Structure 1
Amino acid sequence: MLQDKIKQYTQEIEQFAPGSAADVEAFRLKFLVSKGIVKSLFEEFKTVSVEEKRVLGKVLNEFKQLAEDRFQEAQVEFQQSSGDLERKEGDLTLPGEGIELGSRHPLSLVRKEIVEIFKKLGFVVSEGPEIEDDWHNFSALNFPPEHPARDMQDTFFIKKQEGNDIALRTHTSSVQVRMMEMGKPPFRAIMPGRVYRNEAISSRAHCFFHQVEGLYVDENVSFADLKQTLFHFVQELYGEGTKVRFRPSYFPFTEPSAEMDISCTICKGTGCNLCKGSGWVEILGCGMVDPNVLENCSIDSKKYSGFAFGMGIERVTNLKYEIKDLRLFSENDTRFLSQFETEII
């Protein structure tokens, strides 16, 4: 009977006391492998009646957990005793094992560099929540109700509710809204952070990534101020001589809007997979803050104007370190990460 077998094996597990690593391995082979006792009991469980399943289901799950926990405990017990033995018998005159230093993540390095460049221009750092409501993520930023970014194909919604859905933020522009709602101009800030979009993962895209957005609102802010600020940023980050071009574009929250390209740092303008043979790579979107956005945040659009921009840190890092696959940033491969600056704590 299944219940009697569980009781018998439970008693055996509780009395298990390993004397060597071989005993621990024998326990694993007997109970936990695909052809072991735990698996066989679950197979037998499928054949019992519905009434017995209601009683034995919980008991069988507890038995499985007991076997797994006892195996883990036995591993720890043996490793500790073995380690003590080795320390007693070891040659104490040998040099100790060195501590391997970690390295800073390339995204952290580039984020820090971006922040430092804009701090020199008077920008402060502002942060906000990664879970946002519809108002701060879409409506206040002039996204119309029918905009495709609101569709389930693009946004990870957490809670659908009438008039104010809750979702993982799709950009850090939501932090700009919160800043403008809570204060008064002038504003000069950048907003770094993680964002989420429902996209297919590839060498050029991911379902989560990192952004740095910027906002400057004051009296008499012009598009010329925007262009000069971003031109200075590119020269500081990629070096003097990096070419820049602006192309007209559209964003709901800026008007006029533009996308900014730089000369490809990998192929030096000759053409490669990253720049798709054009010699140019788009690194950010920008534009003058739409008056509707200012008014939504209770700012007089006739008195104040401003510019905003946003860039993906992964794309900027790809170009700076000539990395061709952004999936490397989230795979935790130490061979890749160890190439970057060592962090000494």
Structure 2
Amino acid sequence: MLDKVKEIYQEIEQFNVASKDQLEQFRLRFVGRKGVITELFEGLKHVPQEDRRAVGQELNGLKNFALERFEAFTKTIDEQLSAADSTPPVDLTLPIVPNLTGTQHPLTLVRQRIIQIFERIGFNVADGPEIETDWYNFGALNFPDNHPARDMQDTFFIEKKSGTEQESADDVLLRTHTSNVQIRLMERHSKGETFRPIRSIMPGRVYRNETISARAHCLFHQVEGLYIDRNVGFKDLKDTLYHFVKEMFNKDTRIRFRPSYFPFTEPSAEIDISCQICGGSGCNICKHSGWVEIAGSGMVDPQVLANCGIDPEEYTGFAFGMGVERITQLKYVVNDLRLYTENDVRFLRQFEGL
């Protein structure tokens, strides 16, 4: 045993450490739990009783010697790495770096353009909380209790309660659409003796439990619109969206309404436009159909009006919602949604001067 201790002493003394890899080899060989010194301590039980004390002292000395060498090597390696990473002094005689003109994010450009288009025809901008209760995000919008959107697989819940319907209404979550702003707006305008007509758009961030890919993201942006007054009809909705499409894209863009279903509107329709990438001839973006969906819309369901304290016998209205990312994709030919959030300067510089 003592001969083995002397051999390891010599091996430690001759071990050369000049890099982090060699330092790790030293640690595994001598200091680690499975190193040779640990094996010697485990073999101490086989040493005769009368020699065990002396051998144990030798092993303790060997262990301390290995730890001291390891600490010394570690300090040396750390000093070498610090010297290599040190920032060189600034040369104040060098010419200055010219200021580079910044640019707005493409989503910001499109959002501002959408707001500008709707403001010109009488819509104002409304805002609301991104952290919302189940009532404003689902309940007041006629989502049934068993609707898939209320599952944790689709919605980010901050506080999920269970039990009665009233307890579910108090669930706290990240809003899945900006329709919560519509509900708060209708409630606010219905207070008082007379109802004040609403003509507003609601831009903002929304969150859904989606797998991030080229076509989907867990965080994205929406712009929703709401118009409530006496004698508002589906023709008003169609005229408003026809105007928006022609202004956002070009006068040759075709638009169509397809019947659909949403819990908070009846009747409901999805809005398609002719693909801006291929001009309607067919491509991967439009799945070779020549059409791309950009929004959902419909007449506000009378029950939603009643939920917010508005008389559905006297007032009607329409609502619509669109994804800012989709509009940006069509306007600037962006084929991957992840580019919007990766902050790649090469991508962002393409929008300088817009």
Equivalence map 1:206-217=2 (5 Å): 206-217=217-228
> What corresponds to 1:97 in structure 2?
97
> What corresponds to 1:263 in structure 2?
274
Deviation at 1:179, TM superposition (A): 0.8
**TM-score normalized by structure 2?**
0.74
1:303 & 1:105 partners in 2: Cα distance?
Answer: 43
> What corresponds to 1:223 in structure 2?
234
1:170–1:38 Cα change, 3 Å: farther
Equivalence map 1:132-281=2 (5 Å): 132-161=132-161, 162-163=167-168, 164-184=170-190, 185-281=196-292
1:37–1:320 Cα change, 3 Å: farther
> What corresponds to 1:308 in structure 2?
319
Deviation at 1:232, TM superposition (A): 0.2
1:117–1:34 Cα change, 3 Å: farther
Equivalence map 1:41-60=2 (5 Å): none
Task: Give the secondary structure class of the aligned counterpart of 1:286.
Answer: strand
1:34 & 1:251 partners in 2: Cα distance?
Answer: 64
Task: Give the secondary structure class of the aligned counterpart of 1:83.
Answer: coil
Retained in 1: the 8 A contact 2:160–2:171? yes
- Structure 1 runs of 4+ aligned residues shifted over 4 Å read 36-40
> What corresponds to 1:110 in structure 2?
110
> What corresponds to 2:340 in structure 1?
329
> What corresponds to 2:45 in structure 1?
none
1:188 & 1:326 partners in 2: Cα distance?
Answer: 30
Task: Give the secondary structure class of the aligned counterpart of 2:183.
Answer: helix
1:242–1:158 Cα change, 3 Å: same
Retained in 2: the 8 A contact 1:133–1:167? yes
Deviation at 1:95, TM superposition (A): 3.5
For 1:219-249, what per-residue CA distance to the aligned partner results, in whole angstroms no more than 9, with x for missing partners?
A: 1000000000000000000011100000000
Give the AA of the match of 2:179: S
Deviation at 1:334, TM superposition (A): 0.7
> What corresponds to 2:51 in structure 1?
none
2:211 & 2:102 partners in 1: Cα distance?
Answer: 31
Question: How many residues end up aligned between the 2 structures?
Answer: 285
Larger-Rg structure: 2
Deviation at 1:34, TM superposition (A): 9.3
Deviation at 1:207, TM superposition (A): 1.1
Retained in 1: the 8 A contact 2:102–2:352? no
Deviation at 1:201, TM superposition (A): 1.9
Give the AA of the match of 1:117: I
Deviation at 1:146, TM superposition (A): 1.1
**TM-score normalized by structure 1?**
0.76
1:272–1:95 Cα change, 3 Å: same
1:306–1:101 Cα change, 3 Å: same
Task: Give the secondary structure class of the aligned counterpart of 1:287.
Answer: strand
Q: Which moved more, 1:280-289 or 1:321-330?
A: 321-330
The root-mean-square deviation of aligned C-alpha atoms, in Å, is 2.9
- The answer to whether structure 1 residue 292 and structure 2 residue 303 are counterparts is yes
For 1:248-276, what per-residue CA distance to the aligned partner results, in whole angstroms no more than 9, with x for missing partners?
A: 00000000000000000001111111100
